[in-house]
Amino acid sequence: KFSHLKSYFESTDSPEHFLQNTKYNAGDADVFLSTKMAAPLTLLFIVAITIRAVLFRSSLADLITERVEVVSPLNAWKRVVEGLALLDLGVSPYAGDVFHETPLMIYFFHFVIDYAEIVFMVSAVCIVFLLQFRKQKYALEGDRYPLDCLELIRTPREMLYIPLKVAMFYLLNPFTILSCVAKSTCGLNNAVIALFILSTIKGSALMSAIFLALATYQSIYPLTLFAPALLYLLQRLYIPVNWRRPSFWLFTTQYVFMYLGSLAVMVCLSFFLLNSWDFLTSVYGFILSVPDLTPNIGLFWYFFAEMFEHFRLFFICVFQINVFFYTIPLSIKLKEHPVFLIFMQIAIISIFKSYPTVGDIALYMAFLPAWNHLYRFLRNIFLVSVVLLACSALFPVLWHLWIYAGSANSNFYYAITLLFNVAQILLVSDYFYAYLRREHHLTHGLYLKRKDGSEATLVLK
């Protein structure tokens, strides 16, 4: 049985077969987009845009803009406006500690400040379009797997609905809506990451490097997406990840140069726009050293508010390394599955980054419908969803009790952020588990037997 599988694997891994698949899929995707799904998608867009437009006009908008869960010091719209006001006063926006956007961002908003609402709505919709293509192609990779695991492989019909589900998950996710209505620039960063994913999936190394550099330039953390992008592009070009192959080194060097080159161009451009390097400390120093302890949904604020002064540097290093650290083991474990690796990296970033907002969570949550074939292996999805929902409801309640009513204290809010993060960690690790388990079943068959023939249970050892 295993020999059969192996031979099947070899045959499916042959370039011709794969290429054929890809071509077929791409064509299928275009056809599909233009015809069958157009109507529901359009309807969805109309609904999503209506919700946002109504909220923009309502009195709730001001309330949402102030929410610490929705905006962080890094991406608050109020701070963007402040930066522009400072620029108008002839003061460098980086002279103070209020503005932490990148120089390119401030110049971008300098021109579109009047159309900000539209920009944010369009970016939200764009992200959906960008994520669409990715799903289309990726979903079909299941074809390569053994026949006795048919249950695990998604039917084309299932895959047909993935883009719609992704769109719904992203556009109708309350987190996304809140983030968009608050005009958090997190939405734009998400758009850049989505562009990066799209160009990577399309196989355009240059565009992928440029957008990755842009995402890195915006918020450092997407740096860890370098590994999955490289792995994906290598896979696409049938270059094995092998240290001794010159072709591997050639392509890696090319990609690194494209990436570093575009990053250098952006940084230098920023320098010439403002003629000072202040933005480096004000943006990246701010992200890495976490001086602003405004409460948010992350783990940093209360930890560093309560930290003993002489341990501060040590723990900042530990927490920041923690975000980047997972890249290496994950890339080794998931080197065959770069798209899932992208998902894992985005999720880890949004959990462990220094100033997370719900917009970051919405981005990785948009991936979840793409993994709907993992659903049968998820162990505690119900518990996690309930906890996430409960926490989301409790955030404003406990915030109100602490800040306005004065009947609770900071520990209440902190407890909820802890729980929220535990739930997110469980969610991500559950998906990781399910993904690994599915892979295991795909190679070893779904119904495993013990040596004595009884039904076996799988354990991690």
Partner 1 sequence: MNVAETVFIDNVPTTETDASPPSVTEQKADEADHVLDTMQTQDFPPPSTAKDQFQEELVIKPLHSGDIYASFQFRTQWDTDFLLGSKVSHYRLFPKSLGQVISKFSVRELHISFTQGYWRTMQWGQPFLPSPPGAELWVWFQDTVTDVDLAWKELTNVLSGIFCASLNFIDSTNTVQPSASFKPLGVGNVTDQRFLRYAVLPREIVCTENLTPWKKLLPCGSKAGLAVLMKSEKLFHSSFHSQALHIRPVCKCKSTSWELRQTLNVVFDLHTSGQGKREWSLFKMFSRTLTEACPLASSSKVYVDITDNPQGELFELSPATPLVSQAVVLGDGRTYSVYDLTDHATFGQTHSLNVLLRWRAAESGEMLRPLLHGERYVAGYGLQTGEIHTLVYNNHPYRAFPVLLLDTVPWYLRLYIHTLTVTSKGRDNKPSYIHYQPSKDRLQPHLLEMLIQLPPNSVTEVTVQFERALLKWTEYTPDPNHGFYVGSSVISALVPSVVAMDTNNTQERPLFSSFFPCKEESTYFMRIYTEPLLVNLPTPDFSMPYNVICLTCTVVAVGYGSLYNLLTRTFQVEEPSQGLAKRLANIIRRLRGVPLLT
Instruction: Name residues contacting partner 1, limited to 348-367 (CB under 8 A).
Output: 348, 351-352
Taking the least distance from each CB to partner 1, the nearer of 97 and 151 is 97
Member of 102, 292, 350, 374 binding partner 1 (CB under 8 A): 292
Nearer to partner 1, 122 or 436 (CB): 436
Q: Is residue 429 a contact residue for partner 1 (CB under 8 A)?
A: yes
Residue 450 binds partner 1, judged by CB under 8 A: yes
Taking a C-beta distance cutoff of 8 angstroms, is the pair 41, 172 a contact? no
Please, what is the minimum distance in Å from the beta carbon of residue 77 to partner 1?
11
Choose the stretch contacting partner 1; rule: CB under 8 A; options: 172-180, 346-354, 378-386, 387-395: 346-354
- Per CB under 8 A, contacts with partner 1 among 406-425 are 409-411, 414, 418, 421-422, 425
Smallest distance from the beta carbon of 60 to partner 1, in angstroms? 17
| Cβ nearer to partner 1, comparing 313 with 448 | 448
Tell me which H or E stretch contains 151: none
Look at the block and give the residue holding tokens 């064509």. Answer: 27
Q: Taking the complex as a whole, how short is the minimal distance between the CB of residue 263 and partner 1, in angstroms?
A: 27
Establish if 256 lies at the interface with partner 1 (CB under 8 A): no
Question: 249 or 311, CB closer to partner 1?
Answer: 311
Tokens 């719904």 -> residue: 168
Find the binder of partner 1 among 38, 95, 313, 393 (CB under 8 A). Answer: 95
DSSP string, 49-78: HHHHHHHHHSTHHHHHHH-TTT--TTT-HH
- Check binding of 98 to partner 1 (CB under 8 A): yes
CA distances from 283 to 68, 104, 352 (A): 19, 12, 18
Q: How far apart are CA 193 and CA 222, in angstroms?
A: 8
Q: Using CA atoms, how far apart are residues 176 and 358, in angstroms rounded to an integer?
A: 7
Residue 63 is a binding residue for partner 1 (CB under 8 A): no
**DSSP collapsed to 3 states, 365-415:** HCCHHHHHHHHHHCCCHHHHHHHHHHHHHHHHHHHHHHHHHCCCCHHHHHH
Q: Which residue among 19, 43, 46, 91 contacts partner 1 (CB under 8 A)?
A: 91
Is 231 one of the binding residues for partner 1 (CB under 8 A)? Answer: no
The answer to whether the CB of 99 falls within 8 A of the CB of 93 is yes
Burial of 323 (0-12, 13-18, 19+ CB in 10 A): buried
By CB under 8 A, residue 317 contacts partner 1: no
Q: Does 330 bind partner 1 (CB under 8 A)?
A: yes
In terms of Cβ atoms closer than 10 Å to its own Cβ (0-12, 13-18, 19+), residue 298 is: buried
Q: What is the DSSP letter of 154?
A: P
Give the torsion sign (CA, 279, 207, 182, 104). Answer: positive
* Phi, psi of 294, deg, nearest 5: -55, 130
Q: Which of 295, 338, 359, 369 binds partner 1 (CB under 8 A)?
A: 295
Of 196 and 286, which CB lies nearer to partner 1 in the complex structure?
Answer: 286
Q: How far is the CB of 27 from partner 1 (least distance, A)?
A: 36
Asked if 440 interacts with partner 1 (CB under 8 A), we say yes
In the list 126, 307, 390, 401, the residue contacting partner 1 (rule: CB under 8 A) is 307
335 forms part of the interface with partner 1 (CB under 8 A): no
Instruction: Evaluate whether 373 touches 187 at the Cβ level (below 8 Å).
Output: no
Site for partner 1 (CB under 8 A): which residue of 66, 112, 151, 174?
66
Asked if 214 and 199 touch (Cβ cutoff 8 Å), the reply is: no
Under the binding rule (CB under 8 A), the answer on residue 117 touching partner 1 is no
Output 157 or 461, the one with its CB closest to partner 1.
461
204 binds partner 1 (CB under 8 A): no
Q: Which of residues 252 and 410 has its CB atom nearest to partner 1 in the complex?
A: 410
Distance CA(266)–CA(226), nearest Å, equals 17
Do residues 367 and 353 lie in contact, with contact meaning Cβ atoms separated by under 8 Å? no
Residue 28 or 82 having the CB closest to partner 1: 82
For residue 253, CA distances in Å to 221, 243, 247, 258 come to 21, 13, 10, 9
Which positions touch partner 1 (CB under 8 A)?
Answer: 66, 68, 78, 81-82, 84-86, 89, 91, 95-98, 291-295, 299, 301-309, 319, 322, 326, 329-330, 333, 348, 351-352, 402-404, 409-411, 414, 418, 421-422, 425-426, 429, 432-433, 436-437, 440, 448, 450-451, 456-461
